[in-house]
């Protein structure tokens, strides 16, 4: 009782809680919620949606952008970044995409015995948000919440394939391509050619490019607008290579990505044929 009375006193003393619409926390969350439903809105388009004056909204968006929760492109359109996934890492099962893709990843991991991982872009890295472990003792080990490079991981290459040429050039200009293994592609022109092949093939493949002696296959997950929002991969150690394994894993990961994309609202005839 004493605790409840104390909280009531705090609320009574804090006039900012008397009208939520003028509260900074309320306004911030309202902006984030609105951006989750209104992707790529300009300041002018978003202002009436959140019921804020443009100068006020601009201040909030500037802070959110500096903190990494919101990004603004060259056309002055604002979008949420994946940073919220990082913040919600401990409750990632509640995130819609993870909930949708998890059963398919579990089925594929059960069928093949290998590790499947779901990743999203977090700034200039790949954030691992969901994992289904291999049934083998010797396995490809990755932890939830880990950040990996984009340019030399299979999920990262999938994300790069979804960038426009201009976005890719900007990324390559600022990213230092470090050789993690002798197979890591560190030449920007060669990497561009590699990404173009991924765009054409619809999947990415790496062998010992980031982790030594690991074979990985990755496919994109699309949203209803056709944007790549995540990538899903299957990974196994080279000593478990056997005839037909690559093709089985490739068809399996393609199916996982296709079903997840379909449930996220993506409509594509060729993709549906994969399911």
Question: In the prediction, which pLDDT does 185 show?
Answer: 96
Which domains occur in the chain, in start order? 2-81 (1.10.10.10), 88-274 (3.30.450.40)
Question: In the prediction, which pLDDT does 90 show?
Answer: 46
Residue 145: DSSP 8-state = T
Whether the pTM exceeds 0.75: the reply is: no
Residue 183: DSSP 8-state = T
State the 10-residue block means of pLDDT for the chain, 275 residues long: 49 50 80 82 90 91 91 88 65 65 93 94 88 76 79 96 93 93 96 96 96 95 90 94 95 95 79 56
CA 126 to chain centre: 7
Question: In the prediction, which pLDDT does 75 show?
Answer: 86
Angle at CA of residue 154, ends 151 and 160, nearest 5°: 45
Question: In the prediction, which pLDDT does 93 show?
Answer: 41
Question: In the prediction, which pLDDT does 94 show?
Answer: 43
SS3 151: coil
Beta bridge mates, 116: 132, 234
Question: In the prediction, which pLDDT does 92 show?
Answer: 45
Task: Report the candidate in 184, 197, 198 with the shortest Cα–Cα distance to residue 228.
Answer: 198
Question: In the prediction, which pLDDT does 23 show?
Answer: 79
Question: In the prediction, which pLDDT does 11 show?
Answer: 44
């Amino acid at each position: 009782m004493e605790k409840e009375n104390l909280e009531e006193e705090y609320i009574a003393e804090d006039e900012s809680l008397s009208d939520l619409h003028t509260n900074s926390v309320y306004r911030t969350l309202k902006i984030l919620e609105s951006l989750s439903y209104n992707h790529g809105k300009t300041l002018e388009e978003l202002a009436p949606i959140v019921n804020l004056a443009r100068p006020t909204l601009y201040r909030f968006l500037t802070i959110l952008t500096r903190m990494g929760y919101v990004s603004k492109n060259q056309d002055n359109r604002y979008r949420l970044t994946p940073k919220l996934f990082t913040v919600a890492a401990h409750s990632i099962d509640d995130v819609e995409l993870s909930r949708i893709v998890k059963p398919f990843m579990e089925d594929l991991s059960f069928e093949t015995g290998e590790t499947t991982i779901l990743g999203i872009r977090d700034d200039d890295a790949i954030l691992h948000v969901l994992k289904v472990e291999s049934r083998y003792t010797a396995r490809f080990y990755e932890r939830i919440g880990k950040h990996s490079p984009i340019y030399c991981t299979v999920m990262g290459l999938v994300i790069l394939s979804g960038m426009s040429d201009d976005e890719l050039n900007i990324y390559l200009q600022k990213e230092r391509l470090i050789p993690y293994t002798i197979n890591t592609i560190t030449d920007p022109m060669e990497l561009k050619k590699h990404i173009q092949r991924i765009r054409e093939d619809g999947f990415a493949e790496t062998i010992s490019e980031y982790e030594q002696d690991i074979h990985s296959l990755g496919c994109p997950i699309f949203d209803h607008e056709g944007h790549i929002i995540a990538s899903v991969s299957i990974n196994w150690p080279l000593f478990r290579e056997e005839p037909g394994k690559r093709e089985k894993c490739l068809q399996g990961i393609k199916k996982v990505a296709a079903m997840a994309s379909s449930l996220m609202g993506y409509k594509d005839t060729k993709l549906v044929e994969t399911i």
